[in-house]
Amino acid sequence: MSESLVYRIFRDPTRSTLWAILIAVAVTVCMGCFRSEPEAEAGPSGNQRMDHALWDSLLQSHVNSRGRVDYAKMRQDARLPQYLELLKTTNAARLANADEQLAFWINAYNALTIRAVIDTLPADQGKWPDYKIIDQKIDGKSIWKGRSFDVGGERRTLDEIEHEIIRKRDGLRDPRIHVALVCAARGCPNLWNHAYTGDKVRDQLADAMRRFVNDSDQIKWNGAKKTLTASKILEWYGGDFASEAFLPHSESIGQFLADYANDKSMAAALRAFKGKIQYIEYDWRLNLKA
């Protein structure tokens, strides 16, 4: 542009105003091009709600009422990579509220665990019944610590999802997650064959806790001997159920369990229980559907 033309443009007030507006718009657009996505912890929650219908349909198709998984069919189902891609592209920190985030991370943990199992299963399906997730190593580390996933706008291991996100972040610390997160072993609580959802997650966790407490494979009360035998989950994470940092919580594990016991006499005994809990040997065999 010649010097005389520039002079004429900016000498004319109408033209100079128009050019000022155009320059401002161009600068704004350019700045937007270089703006990066905020970190997962940055800023308040947004108004997004994630649809977990894909995961729900997968669970309905390949997980039975006892939480056993048909891994052969699961690994061939195109819905699994589709759902994992959805977990990858969703920024969990921008979900509408803590319940939406909690449902997201529970589903993510369970889906990514299944992905990790599928990727480490022997080629020979005849060996699958002997598979144990605890024996699998990645760069000398357990599956929970050795493999990272792009999920929720972060790069996280399974261990970090459970212990650095769900058990540490405000609004997510609910001790009942310990009966909802499933590590693909028979000793785990049964994998629920539905997805957790933000609008119902607290009620769904209450139902999961109720199933756990009333499952004799997880909790056994001997009224005659006054003994309580329980899953090792309560040995590993029992403190969460009585910690004020978690909601809900009770004064003791027994009192917490009592709130979910169907049998009234068992509930009363659990509330009064002061003895030492005996823990069931953990069964690390794969939660494989026969």
Please report whether residue 167 resides in a domain: yes
Shared domain for 144 and 13, answered yes or no, is no
Q: How many domains does the chain have?
A: 2
Residues 89 and 143 in one domain: yes
In the chain, what are the helix, strand and coil shares in percent, each to the nearest 5? 50, 10, 40
Instruction: Name residue, tokens 């009585």.
Output: 242
Is the domain of 205 the same as that of 266? yes
Residue pair 101/171 in contact by the 8 Å Cβ criterion: yes
3-state secondary structure (DSSP) of residue 144:
helix
Structure token digits, residue 232 = 């090792």
Q: Is residue 39 part of a domain?
A: no
Q: Is 286 part of a structural domain of the chain? A: no
Each residue's pLDDT tens digit, 64-111: 999 999 999 999 999 999 999 999 999 999 999 999 999 999 999 999
Find the helix packing angle between 201-213 and 98-120, rounded to 10°.
50
Q: Domain for residue 42, yes or no?
A: no
In a domain, 104, yes or no: yes
How many Cβ atoms from other residues are within 10 Å of residue 168's Cβ? 12
Structure tokens at 141: 């580390």
In a shared domain, residues 14 and 67? no
In this structure, the answer to whether residues 16 and 155 fall within a common structural domain is no
AA letter at 126: G
Closest CA to 69 of 290, 289, 275, 261: 289
φ, ψ of residue 149 in degrees (nearest 5): -130, 150
Q: Do 25 and 106 fall within a single domain? A: no
Model pLDDT, residue 66: 96
Range(s) of the domain holding residue 225: 53-279
> Does one domain contain both 120 and 180?
yes
**How far, in whole angstroms, is CA 135 from its chain's centroid?**
22
- For the segment 57-63, the average pLDDT, to the nearest whole number, is 98
CB 250 within 8 A of CB 94: no
Please report the pLDDT score of residue 227 as a whole number.
Answer: 95
What per-residue confidence (pLDDT) applies to 18? 45
Digit-coded pLDDT (tens) for 99-158: 999 999 999 999 999 999 999 999 999 999 999 999 999 999 999 999 999 999 999 999
Reported as type and span, the H/E element at residue 221 is strand 219-222
Exposure string for 14-41, b = 16+ CB within 10 A, e = fewer:
eeeeeeeeeeeeeeeeeeeeeeeeeebe
Global pTM value = 0.84
Say yes or no: 7 and 117 in one domain. no
Gap between the Cα atoms of 78 and 82, Å rounded: 7
SS3 state at 97? coil
Q: CB of 258 within 8 A of CB of 274?
A: no
- Give a yes or no: residue 215 inside a domain: yes
CA-to-CA separations, 264 to 120, 221, 258, in angstroms, rounded: 44, 12, 9
Say whether both 138 and 203 belong to one domain: yes
Percentage of the chain beyond pLDDT 90 is: 83
**Ramachandran angles phi, psi of 229, nearest 5°:** -115, 130
Q: Are residues 77 and 187 in the same domain?
A: yes
Give the pLDDT of residue 47.
77
Measured distance CA(89)–CA(86) in Å, rounded:
5
181 pLDDT above the threshold of 60: yes
